[in-house]
Chains A and B, each alone.
Chain A
Amino acid sequence: MSGMDPAVRKETGYIALWVILLSVMMEAVFLIIRKWDLSVLLGNLGSAAAATLNFFLLAWTVSKALDKEQPKQAAQRVRATASLRLIGLGAVCALLIGVAHTNVYATLIPLLFPRIALAFRPMKDRNRAPAAAEEEGSDLID
């Protein structure tokens, strides 16, 4: 883990933060509509953890693949792991719903939280861009 790209840690942290925030919001919605029970909480926890782990594995694979010299090797590595990650995610969801009898919707909705987090990503970059430009400008004046 010490040789991990800093971008992987940063992006996974950003996604994990959003997944936690959106999970809390989803639990609140279930409470408001009076559908909350332990199966909702268990499904949300399991699925949110799986979604974050999936994103981390994706980021790690991509950063490791970029270290490879041959683009063809890098592409093959990413293609193989993409299928494995999807199968793993499906297996986790099937186990949660089929064996642990968690709420189906509370289990499936958190899988889309990383995508929602990415939709809000340009907002963060937009806020950062003027600050970076200002910093660059002051460097030029110096």
Chain B
Amino acid sequence: MDISMAVGLMLGLLGLGAGIAMIAGIGPGIGEGNAVAKACEAIGRQPESKSDVTSTLIMGCAIAETTGLYALIVAILLIFVAPGSFVGLLKDTVNALK
């Protein structure tokens, strides 16, 4: 296997890793949806509590959303930062072995 093929394989695997990391972005949407559905039911039972429920729900949804943001940050790091350092490491290793 020559060095260009190894670099290509590494970049492909990094892209695959970024895609797998983004699977974590699905969860917060589902969780937020469930929370909002339950809040809707609660407001239906007690309409006078709407302002309190809205405020608390916004905070809760923002906290739930953070998980997706972590996944996004990991994916961006894998796409933009990791190739530079990993390709350099690979080239150094190959040169050292020669």
Counting contact residues on chain A (CB < 8 A from B), the size range is: 35 or more
Q: 1/0 per residue A10-25: CB within 8 Å of B?
A: 1100010000000000
Which residues on A are within 8 Å of B, measured CB to CB?
A: 5-8, 10-11, 15, 54-55, 58-59, 62-63, 65-66, 68-72, 74-80, 82-83, 86, 89-90, 93-94, 97-98, 104, 108, 111-112, 114-115, 118, 121
Taking the closest CB of chain A, its distance from the CB of B35, in whole angstroms, is: 8
- When the two chains form their complex, are residues B37 and A63 in contact, meaning their CB atoms are under 8 A apart? no
B65: which A residues are within 8 A, CB to CB? Answer: 54, 58, 82
Complex: A116 Cα to B20 Cα, angstroms = 26
- Which residues of B are in contact with A by a Cβ distance under 8 Å? 25-26, 28-30, 32-34, 36-41, 43-44, 50-51, 53-55, 57-59, 61-63, 65-66, 68-69, 72-73, 75-77, 79-81
What B residues does A77 contact at CB under 8 A?
36
CA distance A18 to B79 in the complex (A): 29
Tell me how far the C-beta of B79 lies from the nearest C-beta in chain A, rounded to whole angstroms: 8
Once the chains bind, are B73 and A111 in contact (CB under 8 Å)? yes
Q: Given A83-B25, A118-B59, are A112 and B36 also a contact pair (CB < 8 Å)? A: no
Q: In the complex, which residues of chain B have a beta carbon less than 8 angstroms from the beta carbon of A71?
A: 36-38, 40-41, 44
A82 touches B40 (CB 8 A): no
Lowest 9 A-B CB distances belong to which pairs?
A: A82-B29, A75-B33, A71-B37, A75-B37, A79-B33, A71-B40, A7-B55, A115-B66, A79-B29
Residues of A within 8 A of B68 (CB): 82, 86
Chain A, interface SS category? helix
Which one of A54, A80, A82, A114 has the highest number of Cβ atoms from chain B below 10 Å of its Cβ?
Answer: A82
**When the two chains form their complex, are residues A7 and B72 in contact, meaning their CB atoms are under 8 A apart?**
no
Given known pairs A71-B40, A83-B25, the reply for A118 and B32 (CB within 8 Å) is: no
Contact call A66/B77, Cβ cutoff below 8 A: no
User: Which among B33, B43, B50, B77 has the greatest number of chain A C-beta atoms within 10 A?
Assistant: B33
